[in-house]
Amino acid sequence: MSAFDTDRRTGDGVHVAMVPIVGAWVTLMALTLLGWWLGRYDGLGTGRWLTAVILIVTFIKVFLVGYIFMDLRHTPRPILLAFASGCFVVCMVLIALANIL
């Protein structure tokens, strides 16, 4: 059954396929606000750990967009594992580069 079928509904009339999308959207908005707050709040300082935290939050958002909105949750396991591994490796490389420079 695809995401566009309308005969599957929850008890409150919300389409079943919309539940993960709305949840992901709310999570993305919360992570965006968290990243903005971490970048703008002067009380935390400007340490390297702050850069690492902001990058980790960013790559969690990248993974969510790929998993939910690009429908990688319906792909075979090796493709999902490659995507998650790629997100992790690129995030760690950027953190390492930020600590070197």
Q: Which residue has the higher pLDDT, 37 or 91?
A: 91
Asked whether residue 9 carries a pLDDT value surpassing 70, the answer given is no
Two tokens, residue 19: 């539940």
Per-residue pLDDT tens over the stretch 49-71: 888 889 999 999 999 999 999 98
Q: How confident is the model at residue 42 (pLDDT cuts 50, 70, 90)?
A: low
**Sequence-separated (6 or more) residues with CB below 8 Å from residue 32:** 61
Q: How many domains is the chain partitioned into structurally?
A: 1
Query: What is the extent of the structural domain holding 82?
Result: 2-100
pTM above 0.85, yes or no: no
